[in-house]
Amino acid sequence: MSEIKKCLENARQSLKDNKEAVEKSGESCLKQIHTLRQQFNAIFDRLEQRTVSEIENRRSSVGGKIQTDIDRIDDVTERLQKLFDDFNDGGEKNEATSYIGFTKCDDTIWNAKVLLQEFNIKDDYNMLFEPYKEIAENLSSFKMLGEVISDIREKPLPSPDQVFKVEEHVLHNVKMVGDTRTCCISSMCQLASGEFLLIDNHNSKIKRLNSKYKVTSSCDVPEHPRLVCVVEEREAAVAVNNISKKRHEIHLFRIRSGGLMKTRIIDLSYQCRGLAHHSRNLYITTNTSLHVYNISSGQGRQLYSDETAEYTVYRCAVSPDGSRIYITNYSHHQLITLNKDGTKLSTLTHPELQDPRDVHVTSRGHMFVSCFDVNTVVQVVGMKDGTQTVKPLTGKKEKLAGPRALCFNSSTNTLVVGLFENDNIVELQLKH
């Protein structure tokens, strides 16, 4: 009783700590918004100052030109008035004086006419302000100042060499209305939100599951999708491998709260049997070779090949630091370890490692392998010191009929298994 009470107290304190962390992080988010608003204000202040300064410069320049013209008119008007006054002063004028006066008057009138003609062909002065419509249009296109993300912190996991055991297995149905065939889950990955993406090969769909393994939405993809992996926090890659139509592609999707939006298609000249990602590099297996493709540069190359059998390079996974690449050799019942340049470092064989299909490495370095034909999942230990060996994780009691895809749920310490031609996925609740 006392032990349970203590556990409850610890759990309560942990939740209080989490609540306090949420409050603090929320305050930090609000401060970020305030800072962002200040930055926007500073930007708009600067734009306003520059625009006002330009208006003042233009007004001063144009106003100066207009004042010059006014001064010219005043000068001619003053001279005409002076000539008019001279002619009407009442004094006597001889012929020579009258001629000189007439000549001056004629010249001044001619200059006035020229000046008037000049003003007649000049455009009217005016100033207009036309705001850039793009500013308002771009700002109005945003619904918020940014994206609000709830960060899910991973619980501390034991050492990569810590052996897990299955405490319980739970089935979760992933069949949807509209599915015309029995589900066949060939690949899975977990999003930063705690949700999951599943590839249903037989129904040609990407299925999105919440953290409770309930299907919330789906997205149709071309026939024979095989694999899915997270590329960045809100981007996923899906491999389509239609051998009969010679269609081998990687589809990139933007992950949104409302669904998935396809952003790009990468055409491949080879099959895509396995898919993994690390630091903008996609690692792609083709049954007998391993290729790396950089998403940013669009450049790719072959890292490794083995032509001794049909399925020597089946699926792949990458270590958390990117220094190791693991591939399953389905034909020879092996797990191959390569360095990041494709050099073979080791080959693991073991009686329990039969018909290995999928290989999955967690963020803490734990490795799991699905053995398709013998219906088991094994854990590979000794990763840290290089003395790799295999520990059976499951047996017949877990009812893993044709395990194909693996995904570790870091928030609950559970391993999720996708099955061949089965409407259920299996959640293996682990303990150590």
Residue 353, pLDDT score: 94
CA distances from 170 to 39, 173, 419, 427 (A): 51, 10, 13, 5
Distances 39 to 36, 44, 48, 339 between C-alpha atoms, Å: 5, 9, 14, 46
Spacing of C-alpha 396 from chain mean position? 41
The β-bridge partners of 265 are 251
All structural domains of the chain with their residue ranges: 2-141, 165-431
pLDDT of the chain, 432 residues: tens digit per residue: 555 666 677 778 878 878 888 888 888 888 888 888 898 888 888 988 988 888 888 888 877 877 887 887 788 787 777 777 766 665 555 555 555 655 667 667 777 776 677 666 555 667 787 888 888 877 777 777 777 776 655 555 567 778 899 988 899 999 999 999 999 999 999 998 889 999 999 999 999 999 899 999 999 999 989 999 999 888 999 999 888 888 899 999 999 877 899 999 999 999 999 999 999 999 999 999 999 999 999 999 999 999 999 999 999 999 999 999 999 999 999 999 999 999 999 999 999 999 999 999 998 899 999 998 889 999 999 877 778 899 988 866 666 888 999 999 877 889 999 999 999 999 999 987
Q: What is the enclosing helix (H) or strand (E) of 400?
A: none
Q: What does the pLDDT read at residue 402?
A: 87
Given CATH 2.60.120.10, say whether it is the number of domain 165-431.
no
The token duo for 190 is 């977990």
Tell me, what's the pLDDT at 417? Answer: 95
Rg (CA), the chain: 39
Q: What's the pLDDT at 194?
A: 86
Residue 64: helix, strand or coil by DSSP? helix
Alpha carbons 195 and 388: distance in angstroms, whole number: 31
The secondary structure element, H or E, covering residue 428 is strand 424-431
Q: In a 3-state reduction of DSSP, which class is residue 83? A: helix
d(CA 51, CA 74) in angstroms, rounded, equals: 34
Backbone angles phi, psi at 41, to 5 degrees: -60, -45
Q: Which residues of 189-198 are buried (b: 16+ CB within 10 A; e: fewer)?
A: bbbebbbbbb
Measured in residues, the chain has a length of 432
pTM, rounded to two decimals:
0.65
Residue listed under structure tokens 């064989």: 349
Tokens linked to 290: 């391993």
Q: How far is CA 117 from CA 110, 215, 328, 379, in A?
A: 11, 82, 92, 98
Q: Which residue, among 75, 83, 87, has the nearest Cα to 111 in the 3D structure? A: 75
